[in-house]
A and B are shown apart, each in its own frame.
Chain A
Amino acid sequence: MNVQLVVLFTYFVLALFIGFEVISKVPTILHTPLMSGSNAIHGVILVGALLLAASAQAPTEVVLGFVAVVLATTNVVGGFVVTDRMLAMFKGPRSGEEARREE
């Protein structure tokens, strides 16, 4: 055990509590958008994929890095766009029309 690990573990425990607290009261109609939004947030693995891919040299690293970047970007971009599309429908009729025109 080193200090650094303990620090990381501290972040982890605090984040657990924040995660539980932050969505404790959420109406049923928002379950799906919330799931989709948090799904986009774990796309932050893109940061990890970039760290891996940036310095890739060996063929295995290149392949792993490339696939990881593709998957992670799909997760991030798809996740945020689909959540926004879902939530656009919840607004009043006018903004609903706007959302359709955008498409």
Chain B
Amino acid sequence: MTIMTSLVYLLAAILFILGLKFLSSPRSARRGNWIAAVGMILAVGWTVVMLRGSFTLAGIIICLMGIVIGGVIGVIGARLLKMTAVPQMVALFNGAGGGAAALVAMAELLKLTDRHLAFPIGFPSVFAVAIGGISFAGSLIAFAKLQALIPGTPITYPGQQVVNGLLGLVILALAFFLLAMTSPAVGIIGLLALALVLGVTFVLPIGGADTPVVISLLNALTGLAVAASGFALNNFALIMAGTLVGASGTLLTRLMSNALGRSLGKILFGAFGQVRASTGAGAGVDTRPVRSGSADDIGTMLAYARSVIIVPGYGLAVAQGQHALRELADVLGKRGVEVSYAIHPVAGRMPGHMNVLLAEANVPYEQLKEMDEINSQFKQADVALVVGANDVVNPAARNSPGSPIYGMPILNVDQARTAVFLKRSTRPGFAGVENDLLYDPRTIILFGDARESLTRLAIVVKAA
């Protein structure tokens, strides 16, 4: 590396660090993202300048085509998606990075002929192939779960942990074996294949509600895979940026699982799967009667309430009902009803997801209350209006130790005078757990599409 290259990469690394720093404070977050992007343009742009003499014809073609195609996919994917689909797009982009890291390291390994390089180049390359492969396949499965291409509920089979453990050991053994082989091509492909399989089997048993935490973990893993490729390529920019993401991503994963009130170990190693059987015994609850109300009844009740706490959930996002919800809150506010929104840390599909969706609908920031702030106020609330949320208000998380969501902090909707659920059916939420609150005598359900229900309620409130 020339001095100029080192200096440009150093500048890029500083911009990445500042970017992350700014990203962790609400006021500067958007600027932080731009700062990091400038760092990326510097690093990539200078690399092209540096390489100008060594491009082969094929090299020019694939670089140009690759950047154009990747850029178009990236912009279209990021621009056209609905805000509700953000988590799965992050998973896809992360998988792409993991895949790239695995391929770069693979190419580096295939070039290796001198065994003396085994440690400085071979070891990190093998690591990058394995971790990048796991991250790629795992991210695709997380995407498929969130996109409902495969069921969000944990997919388990007997001996799953043992199989995953064995797979991990085989990968480890193969990795060391590879370092000692003279023509490792077949072994490398085998390693990548095994890593892909492990990525799939690792994410399959993880419950849908925990998927965001896993995406964060895979994000950190991709960072480490990138750093490992950096070791193999002797490239400061890759090591620095990859490690930054690896470290901050690991910490962020911990913060997220804390927000869920669950340990990372419990999320990753199938606590969900094991307790499944015990809740299954209580099944058949579907036949219990529920109290359903009409939009007229519920609208009138809302209009004459003193305080209403709105609990938005993923169902609201799916129905694209955030604007209708704000309109209802506005008409209630005009009548003097005290309205606030209770935001569970993982409302939606990811921490902070619901804040983004409600901000999009111009809901005043000061009406959004975090869980710890609002939980004590449910006792005084006349109505808790639950729009498309289920797991985050399920008292089973507090009361039944056998439940898969036991221990997750929830919003105390059951303490409000009346709980109103806007739901399409009494079907369980993302975690696949029955919600007893739906069958509580103080609960009224307004069946139907969340957006239509909200619009009808607003009309009733206006007329009341």
Q: What does the 1/0 interface line of A20-45 toward B look like (CB < 8 Å)?
A: 10111111111111111111111111
List chain B residues, Cβ under 8 A from A62: 58, 62
List chain B residues, Cβ under 8 A from A93: 362
Enumerate B10-25 residues with CB–CB distance to A below 8 Å: 12, 16-17, 19-21, 23-25
- The CB with the most chain B CB atoms within 10 A, among A17, A38, A55, is that of A38
How close is B91's CB to chain A, nearest CB, in angstroms?
Answer: 9
Q: How far is the CA of A47 from the CA of B236 in the complex (A)?
A: 11
Q: What does the 1/0 interface line of A68-97 toward B look like (CB < 8 Å)?
A: 111111111111111111111111010010
Is B245 a contact partner of A42 (Cβ separation < 8 A)? yes
Is A66 a contact partner of B249 (Cβ separation < 8 A)? no
Chain B: residues with Cβ within 8 Å of the partner, total of 110
* Known contacts A11-B236, A38-B219, A54-B55, A82 near B89 by CB under 8 Å: yes
Residue B277 CB within 8 A of the other chain: no
* Known contacts A38-B248, A38-B249, A82-B90, A68 near B104 by CB under 8 Å: yes
* Known contacts A54-B59, A66-B62, A90-B359, A75 near B26 by CB under 8 Å: no
A-B contact count (CB 8 A): 384
* Known contacts A26-B255, A69-B67, A75-B93, A55 near B104 by CB under 8 Å: no
From the candidates A2, A24, A25, A103, name the one contacting B79 in the complex (CB within 8 A): A103
Q: How far is the CA of A56 from the CA of B39 in the complex (A)?
A: 26
Chain A: residues with Cβ within 8 Å of the partner, total of 83
Main secondary structure of the interface of B (DSSP, over half): helix
Is B107 a contact partner of A68 (Cβ separation < 8 A)? yes
Q: How far is the CA of A40 from the CA of B20 in the complex (A)?
A: 11
Is A49 a contact partner of B66 (Cβ separation < 8 A)? yes
* Known contacts A2-B120, A37-B36, A90-B359, A52 near B231 by CB under 8 Å: no
List chain A residues, Cβ under 8 A from B386: none
Additional 4 contacts, C-beta under 8 A, given A43-B97, A51-B235: A37-B33, A44-B16, A68-B104, A89-B83
| A and B contact pairs by CB, cutoff 8 A, 16 listed | A15-B243, A22-B248, A28-B259, A32-B212, A34-B23, A36-B90, A41-B36, A43-B97, A49-B100, A53-B66, A54-B55, A75-B96, A75-B97, A82-B81, A89-B356, A91-B30
